[in-house]
Chains A and B, each alone.
Chain A
Amino acid sequence: MSTPPLDRELKKGSAELIILSILETRSRHGYEICKLIEQRSHGSMKFHVASLYPLLYRLEERGWLQGKWVEKAGERRRRFYSLTAQGRRVLASQRDTWKAFVRAMDLITDPDNA
């Protein structure tokens, strides 16, 4: 189940944007984030425990995310992550940059534009 090298490089550069996007609509716990990334990328992208959580903690330390323990009756307590106001601003800006980048890449790599 090893990730192809290209995939790993791309993922590394865009990991922050991926996490912020996943959390845009509502707060989620780590496992959920992991599953959503897998589903939305149709299995082409996967985050492992050893990389996901350190990334979440780093974003939390930067003030983009906020982690909160939530207890529900009859369940174990879970740590939910949500975007902070600062996280939202960062997401908007990173998304714009990404779209501009993808557009540029499309223009360059699309044979129709050649």
Chain B
Amino acid sequence: MPDWRPDIASRLGGLRLDPAREAEIIDELSQHLDLRYDELLSEGATADEAFRTAISELRDAQALATAMRPLRQSRVRPREPRDPRLARLTAYLIQDGTFALRQLVRSPLVAAVAILTLAIGIGLNTAVFTLVNAVLLRPLPYPHPERLAWIAPYDELHKQQVFASRGDYLVWKQQTHVFEKMAAYGTRDFNLMVGGEPSQERIASIGGDFWEITGAQPILGRLPAEDDQQGVVLSYGLFQRRFAGLPAIIGQGVEIGGSAFTVVGVLPASFRVTFPQQTAPGDELRDLDAFISLPHGQQRPGSEIKSPNRPAPYWVRVVARLAPGIPASRALLEMQTLHAQLKRDYPRPPALQTSIRVEPLHDRLTDGARFSLVVLQGAVGFVLLIAVANVANLLLAQASLRTRETAVRAALGAGRGRLMLQFLVESVVLALIAGTAAVVVAYTAVPLLVSLAPFSLTGIADITVDARVLAFTFCISIVTAVLFAWAPVFETSRVSLLSTLGGTTPAATAGSVRTQGLLISFEVALAVVLLTGAGLMIKSLWHLQMYPEGFSPRGTYTMRVPLSGPRYEDLGQKHAYVNELLQRLENAPEVEDAGIASVTYNIPVEVSGRRGNADSPPVVAVRMVSPAYLRAMGVSLVRGRWPTAADAHESVVVNETFARSVIPDGDPIGRAIGGSFLSGTIVGIAHDFASTLDGEARAELYYPWNRSPATQSVVVAVRMSESDVPVVRRLVESIDRTQPVYRFQTLEQSLSESIAPRRFNMLVLELYAGAAAILALVGTFGVVARSVSRRTRETAVRIAVGARPATVVSMIVREAMTYVLFGIGVGVAGTFGAGRLMSGMLYGVEPHDPPTILVIAAGLAVAALVACYLPAAKAAGVDPVIALRQE
């Protein structure tokens, strides 16, 4: 028979047929010609004649193509030639995918448990990653975020960044060449008077290229020029709150800190300044309410802003935008040179010796949260790993039930790779379903985390599940799938064809039992690490909440009074106010003790008879307080006495740390102090206390407030019963209506807030550790239960031949517990690594705290024992006759 195909193919050549369709047509036409050829032969034609007649029915070379051309099938878009291997893989994937879905439907319980477990694991990871993404990964919402830098003097003595002087800033701005833009800002709370109504607002005083750096565009009015000393720009929040969102306020006059200003613009609701703020301890972090210009005039580098006629901060902070192509390191070099020169030209007291730091603004803003978030992400990753181990175990059990199916497929010619691919696809399908559910979990968990998160930081306000988060979820779903597919794939690769097909019941191989056991060890080890982490956090918090000896804050209320406005520019007027305040509080029958604290100076203090270098007296915190302040704060004396009314003017009290560190070898009481503006005699030693619960106690000296060279806003501490709070509040506010009391709370509240970040870390870690423990125990229970049910026959035989049920139970429990104990051992070893990582989050407890580790290990072991015992006892209670008959 002649081969017509090449001939037909050449006639179809000019058409754009789908290759598969073309093959069909060639097939069909050549069949036709075959039949025709046979017919002609049977009619007596020679082979040659038959061939020529048949082929002539195709007519001329163009006839077929001409007749075909108008057809739709002749105009198929040309397709890329497909790689046959790829095509085969695609076909396999589709086939396995459908099979996987059918498999899930067939065992809905297993599918539901696996999907739920994974959805929680992946969902929690997604939720934490959403925070990580918003806070750490997303760029700052300002133009050229990658070039924004933070410039700050660094106090080498106290190891902390400090404010900059405006005089320094002006020199930096004029004399550096590495920055394209530079701005200074300072924030302070001032009284805002609108139509005779006061409110306390956070006012930013700004200078330099602040608006260019932030890229702000007003929604109403305009932004003031730098030399506009009268204009104020409102935040959207303030615009709504105090001005009812009325556009007519542009051009209206308001009073800020007693000075007249004109509203020139309103910023959009989306605009937020997330730069670090200038806050006193205990101040709340809040958005900036309004923006005014820094006062004019050249200040001396190193000194604070003095502006008698205008509200202004004393010090500023500095942000800059690096010139294109300039790395922060080069900027630092230039700043260091300039800083050294400034220190030479304008000598500063030794206590104000600083170096200079330049760092990316993003780093500075995320510093506080980075550590917490990284630990959280790690912890939640552990939870996912445990979930993965559980699902792997579940699938492993499924796989061993399916060994027959696998063996049949292998016998029919499926290669090992093909079988593994199938399990992998099943896992991926499972993980992708779980990943989708996880997004729902994340959507629920994110608002919860945000409401708990203490870091009121950049990005936290507009947290969203964006493309990067979804990509993350997808990736971890796939990674997860690969991880848990490993167990059944591994199991499958060992299936022995003959034994499986020949046997009646899929028997558990020693290997699969070991794999399941090791997965349990793995889960338990992770749970130990997480639980220990949570345990250490709980212990830290417990330590933190134990107030130090001699400090009992219960019953103390604190509030702040701004002392701002034109009436309080003069020190004498401030003193008059505070004296009046103290007088009224002292006379009030409701008040047990009351005092105020004002400024704190970090300055060198000389103490008579102190050993050591007289040229470098120790720098301590000198706090300006009224005589009863410490008592009102709930602090008691270690030794000595409180200042009396008669000698309050020249008596000072020091704290224990002062006594210990400044005068280690003698009695401080009765010694004279000096240095700077200080003079007086130490009359008492008070217990240490700090305004934050996790603050380190520092050497402090309590000095009469009315001898301070300056008084700023004051903190008022009052010891009273709760029912008297309104009376006392009214009493304070009635002194001057323009000085609203704010931050009125119990001392315990403000102390508790100071450790909010730790509490958040603990809460979340506890949550995750709890989830991890439950997952691990459920996993252990499940594995033991399954292995017991598969060994029903063995158990029955043992009991039938006389083994006591107790022996059988102990055998099963012993086997399972070996893996659990191994896991606990590995976990305890793991806590050493994790503990080192966590040490920054701990307080008053070592990362390797033996009691904590011991309690966790023992607790988990007992729980696991129960989880093993329950199914074992059930197995031992089975009637051997029934069990054997079932087989």
A interface vs B, CB < 8 Å? Answer: 29-31, 34, 48-51, 53-55, 57-58, 61, 69, 76-79
Selected A-B contacts with CB under 8 Å, 18 pairs: A31-B35, A34-B32, A48-B58, A49-B32, A49-B64, A50-B57, A50-B63, A50-B64, A53-B28, A54-B67, A54-B68, A54-B71, A55-B67, A57-B25, A57-B73, A58-B71, A78-B31, A79-B28
Given the known inter-chain contacts A49-B57, A57-B71, A57-B73, please indicate yes or no for A31 contacting B36, CB distance below 8 A.
Answer: yes
- Write the B24-39 contact mask toward A (1 if CB under 8 angstroms, else 0): 1101110111011000
Check A50 against B58 for contact (C-beta < 8 Å). yes
Check A58 against B70 for contact (C-beta < 8 Å). yes
- The yes or no answer to B159 lying at the interface (CB within 8 A) is no
**Chain B residue, CB-CB nearest to A69:** B24
Q: Closest 7 interchain pairs by CB?
A: A54-B67, A50-B63, A50-B59, A48-B57, A31-B35, A50-B64, A49-B57
**Chain B residue, CB-CB nearest to A56:** B28
| Contact-residue size bin, chain B (C-beta under 8 Å from the other chain) | 20 to 34
- The yes or no answer to B72 lying at the interface (CB within 8 A) is yes
Output the least CB separation between A27 and chain B (Å). 14
Output the least CB separation between A48 and chain B (Å). 5
CA gap between A55 and B59 in the complex, in Å: 15
Check B72 against A61 for contact (C-beta < 8 Å). yes
Check A54 against B73 for contact (C-beta < 8 Å). no
CA gap between A57 and B64 in the complex, in Å: 12
Output the least CB separation between B290 and chain A (Å). 73
Given the known inter-chain contacts A50-B63, A51-B67, A54-B67, please indicate yes or no for A30 contacting B73, CB distance below 8 A.
Answer: no
| Residues in A whose Cβ lies below 8 Å from that of B64 | 49-50, 53-54
Check A31 against B31 for contact (C-beta < 8 Å). yes
> Which of B24, B25, B31, B59 contacts A76, CB < 8 Å?
B31
CA gap between A108 and B72 in the complex, in Å: 40
Q: Beyond A31-B31, A54-B64, list 14 extra A-B contacts (CB 8 Å).
A: A29-B31, A30-B31, A31-B32, A34-B32, A49-B33, A49-B58, A50-B57, A51-B63, A53-B29, A54-B71, A55-B67, A57-B71, A61-B71, A61-B73
Output the least CB separation between A64 and chain B (Å). 14
Given the known inter-chain contacts A31-B35, A61-B73, please indicate yes or no for A50 contacting B28, CB distance below 8 A.
Answer: no
Given the known inter-chain contacts A31-B35, A54-B64, A79-B24, please indicate yes or no for A49 contacting B70, CB distance below 8 A.
Answer: no
| Residues in A whose Cβ lies below 8 Å from that of B70 | 58
CA gap between A49 and B70 in the complex, in Å: 17
CA gap between A58 and B73 in the complex, in Å: 9
CA gap between A94 and B499 in the complex, in Å: 69
CA gap between A50 and B54 in the complex, in Å: 11
CA gap between A79 and B28 in the complex, in Å: 7
Check B71 against A49 for contact (C-beta < 8 Å). no
**Chain A residue, CB-CB nearest to B59:** A50
- Write the B490-526 contact mask toward A (1 if CB under 8 angstroms, else 0): 0000000000000000000000000000000000000
**Chain B residue, CB-CB nearest to A48:** B57
CA gap between A29 and B34 in the complex, in Å: 13
Output the least CB separation between A63 and chain B (Å). 12
| Residues in B whose Cβ lies below 8 Å from that of A30 | 28, 31-32
| Residues in A whose Cβ lies below 8 Å from that of B33 | 49
CA gap between A46 and B71 in the complex, in Å: 22
| Residues in B whose Cβ lies below 8 Å from that of A79 | 24, 28
Check A48 against B31 for contact (C-beta < 8 Å). no
| Residues in B whose Cβ lies below 8 Å from that of A54 | 64, 67-68, 71
Output the least CB separation between B50 and chain A (Å). 14
- Write the B56-86 contact mask toward A (1 if CB under 8 angstroms, else 0): 0111000110011011110000000000000
Interface centre among A31, A54, A77, A79 (most CB of B within 10 A): A54
| Residues in A whose Cβ lies below 8 Å from that of B58 | 48-50
CA gap between A61 and B75 in the complex, in Å: 13
Output the least CB separation between B692 and chain A (Å). 81
| Residues in A whose Cβ lies below 8 Å from that of B28 | 30, 53, 79
CA gap between A61 and B21 in the complex, in Å: 13
CA gap between A51 and B29 in the complex, in Å: 11
**Chain A residue, CB-CB nearest to B62:** A50
| Residues in B whose Cβ lies below 8 Å from that of A31 | 31-32, 35-36
CA gap between A50 and B35 in the complex, in Å: 15
Check B68 against A57 for contact (C-beta < 8 Å). yes
| Residues in A whose Cβ lies below 8 Å from that of B71 | 54, 57-58, 61
| Residues in B whose Cβ lies below 8 Å from that of A78 | 31
| Residues in B whose Cβ lies below 8 Å from that of A77 | 27
> Which of A34, A50, A61, A69 contacts B67, CB < 8 Å?
A50
Interface residues of B in 796-813 (CB under 8 A from A): none
| Residues in A whose Cβ lies below 8 Å from that of B29 | 49, 53
Check A53 against B25 for contact (C-beta < 8 Å). yes
**Chain B residue, CB-CB nearest to A77:** B27
| Residues in A whose Cβ lies below 8 Å from that of B63 | 50-51
